[in-house]
Chains A and B, each alone.
Chain A
Amino acid sequence: MTRKARQRWVIFAFLSPWLIIFAIFNAFPIIYSFFTSFTDYSGLNPEMKFVGLGNYIKALQDEVFLKALGNTLIFVVGTIPFTTGIALLLALLLNSKRLKKNGIFKAGFFLPSVISMVVISTIWIYLYSSNGLFNTVGNVLGFQMEARSWLASPKTALLSIMIMDVWAAFGYYLILIYAGLQNVPEQLYEAARIDGATNTQIALKITLPYIRPTLFFVIAINTIRSFQIFSEIYTMTGGGPRNSTQTIVHYLYQVAFRQFDMGYGSAIAYILLIMIMIVTLIQKYLLRSARV
């Protein structure tokens, strides 16, 4: 064997773990579900019936799916201003020079985001329960709280999960934004102060432009994660009451693994993939324009 041929084998050997996993668990599934999304397929028996765009048309006429899509949208619009806002505010506070040590705060605020969503959901089921923290505090403050769980009413269930998610997620974005703030050169601040710039001017003219890429990134990640919400829905409400907390991935789970309608499930998965790709592309585009 020539040296070159041997080199090729060595490279192939080193890459092989990924090539195998990529082929089996990424490439094949993406192609396979593209095809199954055009079929009527239960996954239990090998029978597959070609239905063309049937599954996609079904999705657009499926009230539950549209509800799930709407809920996801409410989720994105309703939580992102708060997660990003709280994270940005705290990151600015932590970045303040008046603070000698901020390690404990970074770790403390971040802690909830490493804990599994099932654990967090279980805790919040307890806090939202009829005798839980929120009802007790509400009663103490003089509100006539209904003696039932916040998750039991279609009016409050989605809102409750959104509040929980803001709590569970902001620490993650806080760390990202804080890392972004470290990129702002210190001299710029000093120069601006010497020139007599106000705090607002400094924030708008120096800090914001520097962390804009980070903010775009945070918002994009936040959106993509909101598209993928599953654990909290599965644990807390199962999509109910009356589909008021149904989300795309939870519905995908129900369709594919409860009703065993894998063809339709694949179509939903593809719609999800396309949505995520669109958000990613928008983020990439904004990022490019922000850097120029």
Chain B
Amino acid sequence: MKKRTVGGKWLFTLLILLLLISLMPLFMMFFTSVIPQGDLFHLITERSLLDFESSSIYLRTKMKTIGTRDFELKELPNGDSKALSITIEDPRKEYGVAAFTGDNDMNLVGHLSLYISAPENSQLYLGLKDINDVEEKIPLQRITHDGLEKLRIDFDPQRFETVNIGHISQVQFIIAPPEDALGQELVVDDIQSKLRFPTLSNFITVWKEQDFARYMFNSSLISLIVVLGNLVFCSMVAYAFARKRFRGKEVLFSLVLATMMIPPQVTIIPVFILMKNLGWIDTYMALIFPFLVTPFGIFLMRQYIEQLPSEFDEAAYVDGANDFQIFTRIIMPLSGPAMAVLGINTFITIWNDLFYPLVMTNSKGMRTVQVGLAMYQKLNQTDWPRMMSASTIAGIPVIIIFLIFQKQIISGLVEGGVKG
């Protein structure tokens, strides 16, 4: 009787632990979707743009100087570090350094830092250049300090208007020296960018640049129309099965049950050929029409309508109501709970499907979010933060619906499962 000594509290704790383990993959998805770069175990929140420790030939591939092509690499007083030094030959010109960043998403950057020494009263600018060679610069502070100092520049993407912040190829630090600066020098070292964490910019990028907005629109539209169709049509059919007597009813209903067992993969080839001949490939029609009535829905609604008391419709019938009126005025309003179960389950099924929309669509604009995610994932093998935000986008509607309507979802599952 050892088992009996295990108290409820221990059981509860054990289950909580198991639950946390089982939900861990989802937590990891959410967590990774808000990190700026890298992955869960190699979180990158800091990136060195330039540190001038390498040879000047190599450095010319990573940066260029502004105002002059000549620069020196100079030992700093502390001895172990090299810094960039530019001599100001014409105080009317602007001088500076541009770090090449490839194709960099500056939305991820929280602040920039660098060591700088410039003639007193120089005006410092931050310049950005995007991959389309659009340039823009904004004024920062004036240099008031004499000698090398560390500056921290909070980066606010809102201050830039014309450059494409998501695709920056150069980050520039520029000074406009005062008139008396002839022959003085500009020294720069250790330019770093500190990334925002947590950040929502992965979501924004995926949503705007990777067409997820369109995919979500497609998925929502298709799912909602299919849900509406199921609510109306399945109840209609179920009404006939539940309330009417006619020859062949049992045979027809067992056909309904039989089609529940036929997997969509078995019929996909003829359906594809049919859609092609109708010219419906790559249209909403192909994705909506075949699902407007589902055998599961008919089955579920029939079970429900059958157990509704028939006094109401009999009374209405005696009062001269026709079947259409009985159906819309009595049966449908009474079927709310079953319709909730049907609607939510249909939504989730359609939203989550990959196979069917994958076969029926070929243009990017018609993809559902599942197809879009599968394709995106194949092309961006290791960009984990963005991949996880794309997954979150594709998964979150169903997760939210589940959290609100878990009772209906579970009861739909049990109805369709155990009793079917």
Residues on A facing B (Cβ under 8 Å): 7-8, 10-11, 14-15, 17-18, 21-22, 24-26, 28-30, 32-33, 36, 43, 90, 93-94, 96, 98-100, 104-112, 114-127, 129, 131-133, 136, 167, 171-172, 175-176, 179-180, 199, 214, 217, 221, 224, 227-228, 230-231, 234-235, 249, 252-253, 256-257, 262, 265-266, 269-270, 272-273, 276-277, 280
Chain B 7-44: CB-based contact to A (< 8 A → 1; otherwise 0):
11001101100110011011011001000000111100
Instruction: Report the separation of the CA atoms of residues A167 and B24 in the bound assembly, to the nearest whole angstrom.
Output: 11
A114: contacting residue among B359, B373, B398, CB under 8 A: B398
Q: A215 CB to closest chain B CB, in angstroms?
A: 11
Judging by beta carbons under 8 Å apart, are A230 and B410 in contact? no
- In the bound complex, residues from chain A placing their C-beta under 8 Å from that of B373 are 118-119, 122
* CA distance in complex: A262, B271 (Å): 12
A249 to B264, CA, bound (A): 10
Q: Which residues of B (321-337) have their CB < 8 Å from a CB of A?
A: 322-323, 327
Q: In the complex, what's the smallest C-beta–C-beta distance from A290 to chain B, in angstroms?
A: 14
Task: For residue B23, give the distance in angstroms from its CB to the closest CB of chain A.
Answer: 6
User: Which residues of A have CB within 8 Å of B19?
Assistant: 104-105, 108-109
Which of B11, B263, B391, B414 meets A228, CB within 8 Å? B263
For residue B217, CB closer than 8 A to chain A, the reply is no
**A231 adjacent to B355 (CB under 8 Å):** yes
Chain B residues whose CB sits within 8 angstroms of the CB of A231 once the complex forms: 354-355, 370, 374
Cα distance, A106 to B403, chains bound together (Å):
12
Q: How many Å lie between the Cα of A284 and that of B373 in the bound state?
A: 38
B140 close to chain A: CB less than 8 A = no
Q: Tell me whether A234 and B354 are in contact in the complex, defined as CB-CB below 8 angstroms, given that A17-B293, A24-B274 are known contacts.
A: yes
Instruction: Determine the chain A residues whose CB is within 8 A of the CB of B100 once the complex forms.
Output: none
Cβ–Cβ contact A15 & B240, under 8 A: yes
Q: Is B406 an interface residue (CB 8 A)?
A: yes
Instruction: Select the residue from B263, B292, B414 with max chain A CB neighbours within 10 A.
Output: B263
Using known A-B contacts A98-B7, A176-B413, A273-B266, determine if residue A127 contacts B28 with beta carbons closer than 8 Å.
yes
B417 touches A131 (CB 8 A): no
Asked if B382 lies at the interface with its beta carbon under 8 angstroms from chain A, I say: yes
User: Which among B41, B322, B358, B399 is the interface contact of A115 at CB below 8 angstroms?
Assistant: B399
Nearest A residue (CB) for B19: A108
* A43–B270 alpha-carbon span in the complex (Å): 9
Partner of B271, one of A29, A105, A114, A276: A29
B22 surroundings in chain A (CB, below 8 A): 108-109, 112, 167, 171
Instruction: Say whether B409 contacts A179, CB under 8 Å.
Output: no
- Interface flag for B298 (CB, 8 Å): yes
- CB-based contact A269/B268 at 8 Å: yes
* Among B85-93, B117-125, B201-209, B252-260, the stretch in contact with A: B252-260
Residues of chain A contacted by B261 (CB below 8 angstroms): 276-277, 280
Q: Which residue of B265, B370, B403 contacts A118 across the interface (Cβ within 8 Å)?
A: B370
Complex: A234 Cα to B268 Cα, angstroms: 16
Smallest CB separation, B218 vs chain A (Å): 14
> Which residue of A105, A171, A257 contacts B15 across the interface (Cβ within 8 Å)?
A105
Partner of A217, one of B28, B354, B418: B418
Most buried by A among B236, B327, B354: B354
Q: Does B318 contact A (CB under 8 A)?
A: no
B413 in contact with A172 (CB, 8 Å): yes
- In the assembled complex, B212 has its CB within 8 A of some CB on chain A: no
- Residue of B at shortest CB range from A140? B41
Known: A115-B398, A266-B270, A273-B262. 13 other contacts (CB 8 A): A14-B240, A14-B323, A17-B233, A17-B237, A43-B273, A90-B18, A96-B11, A110-B406, A118-B354, A121-B377, A127-B28, A171-B22, A256-B268
Q: Is B395 an interface residue (CB 8 A)?
A: yes
16 contacts between A and B (CB under 8 A): A22-B259, A25-B267, A26-B267, A33-B267, A98-B6, A99-B11, A114-B398, A116-B354, A116-B370, A118-B394, A126-B28, A129-B384, A175-B414, A180-B418, A262-B273, A269-B268
CB closest chain-B residue, reference A14: B240
Bound complex: CA A109 to CA B414 (Å): 15
Residue of B whose beta carbon sits closest to that of A107: B406
A230 in contact with B265 given A43-B272, A108-B23, A116-B354 (CB within 8 Å): yes
Expressed in whole angstroms, the Cα–Cα distance for A121 and B388 within the complex equals 11
B173 at the interface (CB under 8 A from A): no
Given contacts A17-B293, A118-B394, A123-B28, contact A30 B266 (CB under 8 A): yes
Decide yes or no: A29 and B11 within 8 Å by CB, A17-B292, A115-B398 being known contacts: no
Q: Which residues of A contact B398 (CB under 8 A)?
A: 114-116
With A33-B267, A36-B270 known as contacts, the answer to whether A133 contacts B259 (CB < 8 A) is no
In Å, the complex CA distance between A98 and B5 comes to 11
B159 within 8 A of A: no
Closest CB of chain A to B57's CB: distance in Å?
33
Q: Which residues of A contact B69 (CB under 8 A)?
A: none
With a cutoff of 8 Å between Cβ atoms, the chain A residues found around residue B410 in the complex are 106-107, 110, 175
